[in-house]
Structure 1
Amino acid sequence: MEIARSLRAEARRADERRVLVLSGGRKRTRKRAATALEAAEIPWSGTTLVGPEPFLDCEQYPQSQASELLGRTRTAVVLDVHDELRPNALGTAVGAVDGGGLLVLLTPPLDEWSERRDAFDETLAVPPFEVGDVTGHFRRRVVETLRAHRGIAVVDVDTDTVERDGLTDPPPRRQRQPPEPPADASFRPESYAACLTDDQVRAVRAFETLSAAGHAVVVEADRGRGKSSAAGLAAANLALDGQHVLVTAPQYRSAAELFTRASDLFETLDVAVDRDDADPPRRLAVNGGEIRFEQPDSAVESLGTADVVIVDEAAALPVHRLRALLGAPAVAFTTTVHGYEGAGRSFDVRFRDHLADSDHEVTDVTMTTPIRYAPADPVESWAFRALLLDARPTVDPLVADATPETVSHRRLTTADLLADEHLLREVFGLLVLAHYRTEPGDLARVLDAPNLSVHALLQDGHVVSVALLAREGGLSAETRARMYEGGRIRGNMIPDVLTTQLRDETAGVPVGRRVLRIATHAAARSRGLGSKLLDEIRDHEADGIDWLGVSYGATPELVRFWRANGYRTVHVSTSRNDASGEYSAVMLSPSSPAGRALADRHSEWLCDRAAAVLSDPVSDADPDVVRALLRSVDATPNPALSEWEWRVVAGVPGGASILETDPEPFRRLALRHLVAPADPTALTDREERLLVMKALQARPWQAVTEELGFVSQRQCMRTLGGAVERLTRLYGDTSVQEELDR
């Protein structure tokens, strides 16, 4: 196949990548793919097939396992999308192709592709919608960009027609000039000789600061810039100096390149290395130092044995783990800016404040020059545009003066977004900031999913705040029954939780809108724009729905934000959210009698079970999170203490009885005050934290004493006694007052 041979030859000459699109019937495209790879002289050992069936003599993964390619490079990747196109698989496949290589895309006829509905579309057809309600805008976008971008050949195999040859006639590859090593470097010269770009030299040089405690390094880069290689060269030097380097990442494959480069440097230096049997290894010991890999949760537990911690693909880890890893003497974070392991800008938003507040002196490095292919690679440009990997909010000056009075609200339809590429990029750029990891699949959902809607505030036409909402509820009796019996119902998160976990089969009857993400431009935060957007959403969405809702990893600040905007807690998860590391809260804001009934009964049920939940599965929750969540419950718990229970409670302030005699009445009294205080000023913040930790969470006295900073356990107990006395006088009747006065 001459076109494949020409594409490969040009790709190799320019050190760039090329795309070969084979469109048409399934059998013909598969047959042509084999012919193309043979003509391009690409060995099967350098090829990966991503598709449903292994029709080529090479390794094969279904699209659901395309992530196996992360951190690897291949000469060719064949992506078969006849059955489905998973956007994440497309992005991963593109990223795995090396300079001089080919991405071979097998598609249905391009003019028909966007009108077809495939297996990925079925995931977007959340009840009560059906697959026919899903649009094909994302695939249409892919087709349009394939036909418009440089370096992409399109062949119709049914008619044997070359629509585009994809040849760009680029200048020959310029020989890379070896970067200059720093004159005063402390790492070994061979480390800098192994660097391929000036960016890598700067990154390795920054890692030198980790030789001393109290330093942190942050390296941000797009994929293929060599950040993991730089970290590997640095880790090798630190180990040679006797340091114990602990490496962690979401998966080992993310850090495999680090160990490979460290091993290569040891070999160059002819140093004897003790290594494990893994390939690449997970532990390298040399000169009394070592480099070892551990999963993130284990790494946190092992900080005491490490001199330096290197966190690869840090943006894909929850913030609470990143904060815990700051406990290392010296620490480095590498993260992808535009990629599939995580979003570097989100890393900045969610974690930078914690890093700045730490005791570490921070060195920042940004790497821009690609290593695996030439800087002008047209395939990277195509992937960034097609998948919006480089989408970003508008520049600061254009929205810096935005206030709730100057902005305008707009409900953005898919047609609006498709008609204005700049608007789409600004919207998606802000949505990236609203979540720790935004993937290509999220773009497809925004463009195609029938249950999603987008609202935005604009300042002179530029997006300053955006929210993504999902329609939920309004489910048929059959669907609700299936959900109640444990069946998975896509896209109905709040009805699902209230139905399956809380056994409310009617929770799926009311119709709601769940706020999936909400974000305000960094240049215009803390001005009430988020609240303004929620008000506009309420005004424009309230007709025809019963509730607005949200579910998120709870922090005191976020809970207060949602409470101030009329949302009330109806459920708290009993395990931490994998993404945020926090306990998730479900909050509702009713907009109809049916929505009010739903919120009321779940608020009451939450009060009924809160004491038991807090003393067992949620006993380690931050007391300020607990205080904020309880204060956001729209109910008034009845402590319902018996005469005897009131006597037990009243005996604590004077020391005649102790809390451990019967903790239950103390829990009910604490819950009454923390949810609906008769006098919000009756207790100090510290006393409320003490009430949460001891009365509700049943933590040991010594642990509570230390965490709340009491000088002794006796003082802690006396403080609790004083708080109990005030609550007893506040909520008890005359007889209880008399008991206290005895």
Structure 2
Amino acid sequence: MSQRSGYRKLELLHDASLWQQHCQARPSLSIYLSDKDKHADAALSRYRDYLGHEFEQVFIDCSDGLHADAIAALCGTVTASGLLSILLPVEDNPMSQRMTRCAAKFYRDNANNSSATMLIETAASARTRYLTDDQQTILQILDETAQDTTTEPTTHIITAERGRGKSTLLGRALAKAKEQRSIIVTAPRKANAKVLLQQAPQARFVAWDKLLEQPDNPDTQLIIDEAAGLPLWATEKLCQKFTPWLLATTVAGYEGCGRGFAVHFTDWARSTLPEVHIHQLTQPLRWPVNDPLEQWLAKTFLLDERAVTVSSNCVTGTFIQHASELEESLLQQCFQLLLNAHYQSSPNDLNLLLTEPAHKLAYRCERGKVIAVAWLMSEGPVNSPLKQEIKLGRRRPKGNLLPQAIGYFLQQDWAMDLCWLRVARIAVSTDKRRRGTGSQLLTDILQWAKNHHYQMLGTSFAWSPQLDQFWQKNSYFPWRFSSRIDSVSARSAAIYVCSCIPSTNSRYQQFNAWGELQLQWLSKGKEALNLTEELADIRADIIKAYCAKIVPFDAAHFALAQWFYWQHNDHPLTAILCRPDIKLKQLGQYWGGLSKQQANENLCKEVDSLR
């Protein structure tokens, strides 16, 4: 572990040849990530493998496109006096401009080379090998609660920005524990717990997905490092299976926003667990206080949680703009709302908002303060040559989520001819919730969409009764439910649609009815199969695609259940298919233990013979 002191340096390069010179001269304790250089240590997508490591120099090749999550994550692996070097995209864009502009605030140029922004190193306090005051205070609290056997078990949640010594603290606490054998450590990846395990070499590490398979054991205490890197549902389930003792996470997100985790998990923990204590580490351990690289990162990617000055130029009302057009105060307020409200938010979201022309922010202001924000995406029409390929399941180009999903899963190619506006995310400030603020924002978005000639609005989200009530109240109605479970929320994904054209449109009304029937079927099963014949065309399109091996069983299950219920009610398969929870594995048992693939083949043949 490096014991050097001093501020960390930043290098932003546009010159590929200069970049190569620097990479070739890099020290042994360094890492180089690139998607196109075969001499790199790893691809950019593998950045998570290096969390928990420490490097004197980190080189990130972003010449093909900025990877904000990798930059935010690997910035925390750079030790004191170290260097973060980034090769910027060839074509300038608002995000790379922001990176350079923010660097100028925290660094002075040490050369006449305009292609690089670097720090002239200044004196700083030496990095300590000892525990910080924050760490010592929390360790003392842990000792006191551990010795108090008269109270319920206490869960300690520790949050901090990068480099504050969370893992070191967990390791020290574990090393001091009297019954280490009854304590299990887990993390998103074992590499995330590297520092913890160095502090407590006798610790028992078990992968989190393996822990979920183990039987409940309240006698086992649990430590989770980098908890925000786990799906929220998995963290909650682990805390119910075992006795959670220590959970630590980074609040400046790079893999799902730790701040969102802190908000959502803390609320759940306080309402579910017997005793919860929240702790925060503020003093940096890996680099000096006021480190310019840390300040640059927080400013560039809007990760600073401190209160934002309200905008004096913003009057009360709703506004829809591209993020690159917003003044800094408004942009930071909007992004903070999104970070705090959505568990999966990350620095790369800001990159998308600033660089993608099809993305906009709708925000509602009240006396200069942003009280609600929605992330909007323009989708469709889809290029004609692609439409048939998408409908047949042969192509799934990036983007255009709503028209592609409806065109493929519901086999409605007309949806790919329309102009859609998708509400990707919506967030309301805590003090304005349940006051109609979100609904007012959606009303204003609908009017703006009509004025700008959009034909449909829609949204896709992890379904819950509360969200269903909110969206339907605002005239967004269900069209499709996926049987696949969202990895973060453990809930089914749903698509809800709102029409910009007159509500008397018969096709729109049919799909509203179709989605509502599926919603009822998912909750009530067979008794909810109350088909009206005017929906038979939708059903027939999906079943035809299923028999042609275009859509999978999961996508056709509801249509098949309807068809068997109404057309072949006495068929032995009807009772099975009418169950929403049935899978191909159970169908295989119906045919005497066939594989899922064979069961699918048999069902296709059976449907073909009955059509």
Q: Alpha-carbon deviation of 1:330?
A: 3.6
Q: Alpha-carbon deviation of 1:588?
A: 0.6
Find the residue that maps to 1:587 and give its secondary structure: strand
Find the residue that maps to 1:430 and give its secondary structure: helix
**C-alpha distance in 2, partners of 1:374/1:220?**
19
Residue pair 1:210, 1:308 contacting (<8 A) in 2 also: no
User: 1:51-70 residue pairs with structure 2 within 5 A?
Assistant: 51-52=34-35, 60-70=41-51
Residue pair 2:174, 2:180 contacting (<8 A) in 1 also: no
**C-alpha distance in 2, partners of 1:610/1:563?**
12
User: 1:362-377 residue pairs with structure 2 within 5 A?
Assistant: 362-377=276-291
Q: Which amino acid aligns with 1:215?
A: T
Match of 2:473 among 552, 564, 575: 564
Q: Alpha-carbon deviation of 1:564?
A: 0.9
Q: CA separation of 1:559/1:367 partners in 2, compared to 1, >3 Å: closer, same or farther?
A: same
Aligned residue for 2:235?
A: 322
Residue pair 2:7, 2:122 contacting (<8 A) in 1 also: no
Alignment pair present for 1:336 and 2:245: no
Aligned length: 535
Match of 1:199 among 134, 137, 157: 134
Aligned residue for 1:97?
A: 78
Q: Alpha-carbon deviation of 1:90?
A: 2.2
Residue pair 1:81, 1:106 contacting (<8 A) in 2 also: yes
Aligned residue for 1:18?
A: 9
Aligned residue for 2:540?
A: none
**C-alpha distance in 1, partners of 2:250/2:256?**
6
Q: Alpha-carbon deviation of 1:385?
A: 0.9
User: 1:93-172 residue pairs with structure 2 within 5 A?
Assistant: 93-107=74-88, 113=90, 116=91, 136-150=93-107, 153=110, 156=113, 166-167=119-120, 169-170=122-123, 172=124
Find the residue that maps to 2:252 and give its secondary structure: coil
**C-alpha distance in 1, partners of 2:168/2:117?**
37
Cα shift readout 1:33-91 (whole Å, capped 9, x = no counterpart): 434x4xxxxx32x01112245576xx612222222222211111122333332222222
User: 1:455-604 residue pairs with structure 2 within 5 A?
Assistant: 455-484=362-391, 485-543=393-451, 544-592=453-501, 596=505, 599-604=508-513
Find the residue that maps to 1:389 and give its secondary structure: coil
Cα shift readout 1:464-494 (whole Å, capped 9, x = no counterpart): 1101111122112212223223312212112
**C-alpha distance in 2, partners of 1:100/1:554?**
47
Q: Alpha-carbon deviation of 1:446?
A: 0.8
**C-alpha distance in 2, partners of 1:412/1:315?**
31
Find the residue that maps to 2:155 and give its secondary structure: strand
Q: CA separation of 1:599/1:210 partners in 2, compared to 1, >3 Å: closer, same or farther?
A: farther
Q: Alpha-carbon deviation of 1:416?
A: 3.2
User: 1:178-577 residue pairs with structure 2 within 5 A?
Assistant: 196-208=131-143, 209=145, 214-238=153-177, 240-241=178-179, 243-263=181-201, 284=203, 291-296=204-209, 298-299=211-212, 301-304=214-217, 307-327=220-240, 328-390=242-304, 394=308, 407-417=316-326, 420-484=327-391, 485-543=393-451, 544-577=453-486
Q: Alpha-carbon deviation of 1:451?
A: 1.2
Residue pair 1:315, 1:437 contacting (<8 A) in 2 also: no
Q: Alpha-carbon deviation of 1:217?
A: 0.9
**C-alpha distance in 1, partners of 2:41/2:213?**
35
Aligned residue for 1:49?
A: 32
Find the residue that maps to 1:304 and give its secondary structure: coil
**C-alpha distance in 2, partners of 1:500/1:591?**
22
Residue pair 2:222, 2:245 contacting (<8 A) in 1 also: yes
**C-alpha distance in 2, partners of 1:479/1:535?**
33
Match of 2:52 among 71, 74, 81: 71
Q: More deviation in 478-487 or 385-394? A: 385-394
Find the residue that maps to 1:60 and give its secondary structure: coil
Aligned residue for 1:126?
A: none
**C-alpha distance in 1, partners of 2:197/2:22?**
38
Aligned residue for 2:66?
A: 85
Aligned residue for 1:705?
A: none
Find the residue that maps to 2:446 and give its secondary structure: helix
Find the residue that maps to 1:48 and give its secondary structure: strand
Find the residue that maps to 1:217 and give its secondary structure: strand
Q: Which amino acid aligns with 1:249?
A: A
Q: Alpha-carbon deviation of 1:547?
A: 1.4
Cα shift readout 1:236-261 (whole Å, capped 9, x = no counterpart): 333x4254212222222222222121
Q: CA separation of 1:598/1:414 partners in 2, compared to 1, >3 Å: closer, same or farther?
A: farther
Residue pair 1:546, 1:593 contacting (<8 A) in 2 also: no
Residue pair 2:449, 2:500 contacting (<8 A) in 1 also: no
**C-alpha distance in 1, partners of 2:106/2:480?**
49
**C-alpha distance in 2, partners of 1:562/1:608?**
17
User: 1:686-697 residue pairs with structure 2 within 5 A?
Assistant: none
Q: Alpha-carbon deviation of 1:363?
A: 1.1
Q: CA separation of 1:473/1:325 partners in 2, compared to 1, >3 Å: closer, same or farther?
A: same
Residue pair 2:153, 2:274 contacting (<8 A) in 1 also: yes
Cα shift readout 1:500-553 (whole Å, capped 9, x = no counterpart): 223222321222111111111112222110111111111111231111111111
**C-alpha distance in 2, partners of 1:579/1:365?**
24
**C-alpha distance in 2, partners of 1:203/1:393?**
26
Q: CA RMSD in A?
A: 3.6
Q: CA separation of 1:297/1:563 partners in 2, compared to 1, >3 Å: closer, same or farther?
A: farther
Identical positions, percent: 25
Q: Which amino acid aligns with 1:254?
A: N
Q: CA separation of 1:195/1:296 partners in 2, compared to 1, >3 Å: closer, same or farther?
A: farther
Q: Alpha-carbon deviation of 1:321?
A: 2.1
> What 5-or-longer segments of structure 2 have no aligned partner?
535-557, 567-577, 583-611
**C-alpha distance in 2, partners of 1:579/1:153?**
45
Residue pair 2:127, 2:285 contacting (<8 A) in 1 also: no
Q: Which has the larger radius of gyration?
A: 1
Residue pair 1:346, 1:436 contacting (<8 A) in 2 also: yes
**C-alpha distance in 1, partners of 2:170/2:223?**
8
Q: TM-score, normalised by structure 1?
A: 0.65
Cα shift readout 1:640-660 (whole Å, capped 9, x = no counterpart): 9xxxxxxxxxxxxxxxxxxxx
Q: Alpha-carbon deviation of 1:297?
A: 5.9
Q: Alpha-carbon deviation of 1:610?
A: 6.5
Cα shift readout 1:423-472 (whole Å, capped 9, x = no counterpart): 11111101112321222211111111111111111111111110111112
Residue pair 1:217, 1:363 contacting (<8 A) in 2 also: yes
Q: Which amino acid aligns with 2:105?
A: A
Q: TM-score, normalised by structure 2?
A: 0.79
Q: CA separation of 1:450/1:101 partners in 2, compared to 1, >3 Å: closer, same or farther?
A: same
Residue pair 1:457, 1:465 contacting (<8 A) in 2 also: yes
**C-alpha distance in 2, partners of 1:457/1:147?**
32
Residue pair 2:57, 2:85 contacting (<8 A) in 1 also: yes
User: 1:649-660 residue pairs with structure 2 within 5 A?
Assistant: none
Q: Alpha-carbon deviation of 1:137?
A: 0.8
